[in-house]
Amino acid sequence: MAGDATRSVSLTRTGAGTFLAENARGGTIPIGAGGSDAADFTPVELLLAAIAGCSAVDIDALTSRLAEPVTFSMSASGDKLSDEQGNHMGPITVTVSVTFPEGEGGDRARDRLPDVVTKSRDRLCTVSRTVQLPTEVHFEVD
């Protein structure tokens, strides 16, 4: 039996080069090998979304208690490389764009934002921490 810390997704082929990822709660995301269907995310796009999304959750939780953001968006980008190390991503840049209302709460949230971003990057965000640290990936054939 998997422990409480275990996370998993299953992937089912839906057509040539297309798949449906499903989490344990029944949520689904379409995945396409080349991103030819506008609704499909490529695996690399999912990685970028996971990095930005993980930090977005951290940043929102730690700043919105001080003030509700007026705007909140994040992006993640990087170059897909193919070299002597095989296929991989080069450095990934996550851009955080959050504005808070005028007033004491907004001022406190604005002041706290840089520290929260650093904490997410360096300690809290499981996804970016996993990418930054050496993490073994095992494959099994069933």
Share of the chain above pLDDT 70, in %: 96
Across the chain, mean pLDDT equals 93
Q: Identify the pLDDT of residue 99.
A: 98
Minimum mean pLDDT range among 100-104, 110-114, 131-135: 131-135
Tokens describing residue 67: 């003030």
107: pLDDT strictly greater than 80: yes
- Which string of DSSP letters, residue by residue, matches 68-128? --SEEEEEEEEEEEEETTEEEEEEEEEEEEEE--SSHHHHHHHHHHHHHHHHIIIII-HHH
Averaged pLDDT for residues 5-9: 91
Phi, psi of 140 (to 5 degrees): -125, 140
CATH 3.30.300.20 region(s) of the chain? 43-132
Residue 92's alpha-carbon distances to 11, 68, 112, 123, in angstroms, are 26, 28, 23, 17
CATH of domain 43-132: 3.30.300.20
pLDDT confidence tier of residue 1, bands split at 50, 70 and 90: very low
pLDDT confidence tier of residue 2, bands split at 50, 70 and 90: low
pTM: 0.89
pLDDT tens digits, 23-80: 999 999 999 987 667 778 999 999 999 999 999 999 999 999 999 999 999 999 999 9
